[in-house]
Amino acid sequence: MENNCNDMLLNEQSVWHNPAARYDPAVNQYCRWETPSPMLQPWVYTDWVRETLSWKKGCYLHTFLSGCPCITVKGPDAEKLLSDHFVNGFTLEKFPVGACKHVIACDENGMIYIHGICMRVAENTFDTYCLEPLVPVMMNCGKYDVEKGMPDCGKDFIFQIAGPRALEVVEHAIERDIHDLKFMRFCSAEIAGCHVRILRMGMGGTLAYEVHGNSENLLTVYDKIIQVGTTYDMQRLGLLAYGCNHTENGFPQSGTHFTCAEREDEEFKACVKAAHLEEYLSEAYYGMELPLHGSMSDMGLSAYYSSPIEVGWKKMINWDHEFTGKAALRRQMDDPNTRCICTLEWNTEDILKMIYGYFDDDPDVPEEVVFPQNYYFSAYGNLADKVFDKNGNLVGKSSGFVYTAFAKRIITLGVISPEYNVEGTDLTILWGTNGTRQFPIRAKVARYPYLSLTKNRDYDMESVPHYHKI
Amino acid sequence: MNKDYQTLHPLHVEDYGFDEMAYETGPYVPYKKEGAVYCAGGFPYLTPLWYTDWRDETLAWHYTCALYAHLNPSPLTIIRGPEAKKFLKENFVNNLDNFPIGIIKHGLICLENGLLATHGMLLHTAENQYEAYWHAPYIDYLFEQKKYDAELIDASERQYLFQLQGPRSLEIVEEVTGENLHDLEYRHYRDSKIDGNTVRILRFSMSGALGYEIHGEIQYAMTVYKKLMEIGAKYGMRLMGDVAYCMTNTPAGITQAGGDFQAATFMDEGFQRWKQAREGGADDGICDYDDMAVMDFLGGSVGQDISKHVFDPFECGLGHCVNLKHEFRGRAALQQRKENQTRKLVTLEWNPEDLTEIYASQFKQGEPYKPLDYPGGESSILGYFVSNMDYVLAPNGDKIGVAFGRVHSAFYKVMLSMASIDLAYTEEGTQVHVLWGEPGTRQKLIRATVVHTPYNRDRTNDVFDVGAIPCPLHMKGDK
């Protein structure tokens, strides 16, 4: 009997290996997801320390967003459809062709319901990613004069290249100079003869690009990027390391830092019915009720929601148009006590005291601090802990646990009362789900985002060597 | 976390896929639909590293029951014929004269030099018929060295092997078979039926907790597994991933060649030649994990000198299996090794302050110590077998032995190692040091105390009072 069944299971022709990367027999850890289609994704490529350091020193290639649902909104009412539901501005002036936006939709209470990426490819055409179920429901409900359609999870590939050397990799792959591509803009290019789109955006917290293209060409483009990447210290990023991006780089993320609110208003339900997409309302779509983790667990699911204002996205709100949740968001803007986002740097002594609790005489153990992120919980539910001031007043919540090997610290993102959002403020996080042995952990409000590299928007492009055909 | 253990992570069968076409996890176990993290490389199929989390799963064999099903296929060799016993006696160190049908022995095969080559369960199943688990392909090689009036059959891929361990395991096995098995003694087995198909129930466990194995024909593996999940859910059973499984044997004080240390088969030149010749030819169907048993990675402060990664049975706690009153392969060497034994197996409990310092180094600038990210069982996580061997030092700095990896027990709240050390230091309470970290990296001396072996002395399979366990079948009858 041969022991190489894995080669059969996981080669790139197989249905199991994520089609967005080549099978590498040296990779031994995979994560399985059922949606959008069953696939196995490398969990760790080499080791998570090396992979998480990649976006500080060289760069990374992350390919697993390729399976995310993409849908094109096209027609005379395309702009209106998006504008009615998303907080962002969609006029041609605010959102020209060739631009991409991080778009946010809220529920009636102004809590984040969905967020994702939208690109304007023509005046009346938008390519969107991860905006299920809102966009397909609105496209198919008959209210808007747009083409009907459903999201396609395999149509496009999305490769993320992030880190100080990302531009060199991209330019080398497309064989031309795109130093002038501005932040949140995209352009067309070719890689190994295949048409692609290059977007200047990403999750690396510094210079970062995405390469989008037709999935038919995925492996051709992948191979080319891997080949040129070797020159620029590029690491492939497994899912474990990818999950460390958002906290360190200050990108609040649904499923990590907050739970998405659900749209339960009658108007939305009527649209779902009209679109014949009832499956989007059923339990089958939202999945089982996920357990709540952390010391917030006694406060109910809605305590895990966040508003765009709380997580620092108020600049993305365009007040010159009507959209779902506008009134609630306006009230939050006017309320001086609306909470705001920060980084919380954990006190090492207290972490070690808690770790000592794994081995002490107390019959109970504290919940484990899993390095480099709490993957058990991110797979099963939501994790948020209470944050107190020095007098024991509840002042906010903390989520997105990450150990950063770069800074050698444990950090989380906090959503806290504004008077405490001053660097150096001492707060206390109560670690542990209610009913377990909880530990108070002192934490300091730290810079946000925590990563001190220059942001993508502010990057000095002339510090990067220009592409020269060799 | 312990109070509500029974109901904390209820098993939902609907979270798992039993699709016969979805062979990523093989024909033995279903796949978990969302969020499973798999290891590839250890076994021919992908195996989940955990189903809930390692703490939760390791607690199952203390509180309820843990079901482990990733040892599939298990190398299984049937030896039958008039000279079957003769062949076995010439090669196994055990006493096979006192071996009635229905008994499980821990069968050891050594090299001529007495080092442990391979070991596993040995069953006497019928007159002139035996079954050996995990001895292939070395047993096949030995069989070809001489002419015996017997035959060897590889049955590895004909059957499944499921392990249930924990105080509720008996009730689950009784419910799934519909048979009262209270009288099945430790290290005994007998046939039973599930859905009319014959299965074999063995009372045996790696963790030392009350435990049973179910062996049956491969085509029924999935249906039996599903049934075990459904019945087990009522008892708070957990499915066990590889990380937790690799932590079962240390608190039980059972060492494993190919798991904790290097099996010595690589030193047998004749076997190596035989293997090479085989590999050149057609697939002979022998279940072979031997390529993995030659450890892919030698870790720990002992370094890469493979001669420090092999042991004889007396040094690794398996001396009680050796019967010197018969002629067998390696007997002379073992006789000598027994008379000159210098080391024996102990369990070490690591000092929590020193452990905390290892964690602390990850929060300081400079090179951290070798991290303790995972609770133990590196073999399972990395997808290849690791022989992790750290020096054990006396207080004066003398090297007095080696420790086999380490395991964090969430139940006992300790970090434990099994270790083979000089006899002078084996008394309980003796203070020693473990040198943690590979040569050339930052190393740390960790204080450790010699403690009782096995560590889990309060709940062992051999003395478990099953009389106190209700029989679910009787309870049904009473209604």
> Using a CB-CB distance cutoff of 8 angstroms, which residues of chain B are in contact with residue A410?
363
Using the Cβ of A352 and the Cβ atoms of chain B, whether some distance falls under 8 Å is answered with: yes
Mean pLDDT score, B427-455: 97
pLDDT in tens, B240-285: 998 999 899 999 999 998 888 888 998 999 998 888 887 665 445 5
Q: What is the dihedral of CA B232, B234, B240, B246, to 10 degrees?
A: -90
pLDDT in tens, B86-107: 999 999 999 999 999 999 999 9
How far apart are the C-alpha atoms of B52 and B68, rounded to whole Å?
Answer: 13
Q: Is B40's CB within 8 Å of A3's CB?
A: no
| Surface of A (412-441) touching B: CB under 8 A | 435-437
User: Alpha helices, DSSP H only, in B281-431?
Assistant: 290-293, 331-339, 352-361, 378-382
Using the Cβ of A289 and the Cβ atoms of chain B, whether some distance falls under 8 Å is answered with: no
| Surface of A (380-419) touching B: CB under 8 A | 380, 403, 405, 408-410
pLDDT in tens, B45-72: 788 888 888 999 999 999 999 999 988 8
Q: Is B40's CB within 8 Å of A6's CB?
A: yes
> Using a CB-CB distance cutoff of 8 angstroms, which residues of chain B are in contact with residue A371?
362, 371, 373
> Is residue B479 predicted with pLDDT exceeding 80?
no
pLDDT at B447: 98
State the count of interchain CB pairs (< 8 A) between A and B.
Answer: 140
pLDDT at A21: 85
Q: Is B38's CB within 8 Å of A40's CB?
A: yes
Mean pLDDT score, A397-424: 96
Q: Exposure string (b/e) for B29-50, b if CB count within 10 Å is 16 or more? A: bbbbeebbbbbbbbbbbbbbbb
| B156 bridge partner residues | none
pLDDT band at B460 (very low <50, low <70, confident <90, very high): confident
Are the beta carbons of B81 and B151 closer than 8 angstroms? Answer: yes
**What percent of chain B is modeled with pLDDT above 90?**
68
Are the beta carbons of A225 and A159 closer than 8 angstroms? Answer: yes
| Surface of A (320-349) touching B: CB under 8 A | 348
Question: At B108, is the secondary structure helix, strand, or coil?
Answer: strand
Residue-averaged pLDDT of chain A: 91
Q: Is B46's CB within 8 Å of A6's CB?
A: yes
Interface with chain A: mutation pick from B8, B33, B37, highest number of A CBs within 10 Å: B37
Choose among A84, A73, A81: nearest CA to A325.
A84
pLDDT at A470: 62
> Using a CB-CB distance cutoff of 8 angstroms, which residues of chain A are in contact with residue B354?
none
Q: Which of A172-181, B7-16, B29-38, B349-358 has the lowest mean pLDDT?
A: B29-38
- Helices B352-361 and A348-356: crossing angle in degrees, nearest 10, is 150
**What percent of chain A is modeled with pLDDT above 70?**
93
Mean pLDDT score, A375-383: 65
pLDDT in tens, A180-219: 999 999 999 999 999 999 999 999 999 999 999 999 999 9
pLDDT in tens, B173-193: 999 999 999 999 999 999 999
pLDDT at A29: 86
Residue A280 CB: number of other CB atoms within 10 A? 18
By CA distance, what is A410's nearest residue in B?
B363
Question: At B431, is the secondary structure helix, strand, or coil?
Answer: strand
Of A351, A360, A375, the CB nearest to B413: A360
Interface with chain B: mutation pick from A28, A283, A377, highest number of B CBs within 10 Å: A28
Q: Which of A48-52, B31-35, B339-343, B366-370 has the lowest mean pLDDT?
A: B31-35
pLDDT band at A3 (very low <50, low <70, confident <90, very high): very low
pLDDT at A216: 93
pLDDT at A36: 64
How far apart are the C-alpha atoms of B255 and A275, rounded to whole Å?
Answer: 62
Q: Is B360's CB within 8 Å of A437's CB?
A: no
In SS3 terms, chain A reads as CCCCHHHHHHCCCCCCECCCCCCCCCCCEEEEECCCCCEEEEEECCCHHHHHHHHHHCEEEECHHHHCCEEEEECCCHHHHHHHHECCCCCCCCCCCCEEEEEEEECCCCCEEEEEEEEEEECCEEEEECCCCHHHHHHHCCCCCCCCCCCECCCEEEEEEECCCHHHHHHHHHCCCCCCCCCCEEEEEEECCEEEEEECCCCCCCCEEEEEEEHHHHHHHHHHHHHHHHHHCEEECCHHHHCCHHHHHCCCCECCCECCCCCCCHHHHHHHHHCCCHHHCCHHHHCCCCCEECHHHHHCHHHHCCCCCCCCCHHHCCCCCCCCCHHHHHHHHHCCCCCEEEEEEECHHHHHHHHHCCCCCCCCCECCCCCCECHHHHHHCEECEEEECCCCCEEEEEEEEEEECCCCEEEEEEEECHHHCCCCCEEEEEECCECEECEEEEEEEECCCCCCCCCCCCCCHHHCCCCCCC
> Is residue A171 predicted with pLDDT exceeding 50?
yes
Q: Please indicate whether residue B367 or residue B293 has the higher confidence score (pLDDT).
A: B367
Instruction: Please name the helix (run of DSSP H) or strand (run of DSSP E) that holds residue B109, with its range, or none.
Output: strand B104-110
By CA distance, what is B17's nearest residue in A?
A34
Question: At B277, is the secondary structure helix, strand, or coil?
Answer: helix
By CA distance, what is A41's nearest residue in B?
B37
By CA distance, what is B36's nearest residue in A?
A32
CA distances from B280 to A246, B266, B276 (A): 51, 18, 6
Residue A80 CB burial class (10 angstroms; 0-12, 13-18, ≥19): middle
Are the beta carbons of B464 and B181 closer than 8 angstroms? Answer: no
pLDDT band at A427 (very low <50, low <70, confident <90, very high): very high
Q: Is B286's CB within 8 Å of A3's CB?
A: no
> How far does the CA of residue A324 sit from the closest CA of chain B (Å)?
32
By CA distance, what is A33's nearest residue in B?
B34
Question: At B358, is the secondary structure helix, strand, or coil?
Answer: helix
Q: Please indicate whether residue A24 or residue A312 has the higher confidence score (pLDDT).
A: A312
How far apart are the C-alpha atoms of B49 and B40, rounded to whole Å?
Answer: 10
| A214 bridge partner residues | A156
Of A28, A403, A408, the CB nearest to B384: A28
How far apart are the C-alpha atoms of B110 and B118, rounded to whole Å?
Answer: 7
Q: Is A364's CB within 8 Å of B1's CB?
A: yes
By CA distance, what is A378's nearest residue in B?
B35
Of A1, A31, A356, the CB nearest to B356: A356
pLDDT at B412: 94
> How far does the CA of residue B233 sit from the closest CA of chain A (Å)?
18
> Is residue A14 predicted with pLDDT exceeding 60?
no
> Is residue A38 predicted with pLDDT exceeding 80?
no
> Is residue B5 predicted with pLDDT exceeding 90?
no
How far apart are the C-alpha atoms of B32 and A422, rounded to whole Å?
Answer: 44
Mean pLDDT score, A334-355: 97
Residue B51 CB: number of other CB atoms within 10 A? 23
pLDDT in tens, B192-212: 999 999 999 999 999 999 999
By CA distance, what is B49's nearest residue in A?
A29
pLDDT in tens, B363-387: 999 999 999 877 876 666 666 677 8
Using the Cβ of A9 and the Cβ atoms of chain B, whether some distance falls under 8 Å is answered with: yes
Strongest mean pLDDT among A227-231, A259-263, B24-28 = A227-231
| Surface of A (107-166) touching B: CB under 8 A | none
| A197 bridge partner residues | A188, A212
Residue A250 CB burial class (10 angstroms; 0-12, 13-18, ≥19): buried
Interface with chain B: mutation pick from A2, A6, A356, highest number of B CBs within 10 Å: A6
By CA distance, what is A36's nearest residue in B?
B34
Of A10, A40, A355, the CB nearest to B356: A355
> Is residue B25 predicted with pLDDT exceeding 80?
no
Choose among A123, A132, A169: nearest CA to A150.
A132
**ipTM rounded to 2 decimals:** 0.91
The angle at the Cα of A304, spanning A302 to A306, to the nearest 5 degrees, equals: 90
How far apart are the C-alpha atoms of A437 and A355, rounded to whole Å?
Answer: 12
How far apart are the C-alpha atoms of A61 and A39, rounded to whole Å?
Answer: 19
B466 φ/ψ angles, rounded to the nearest 5 degrees: -70, -15
pLDDT at B304: 86
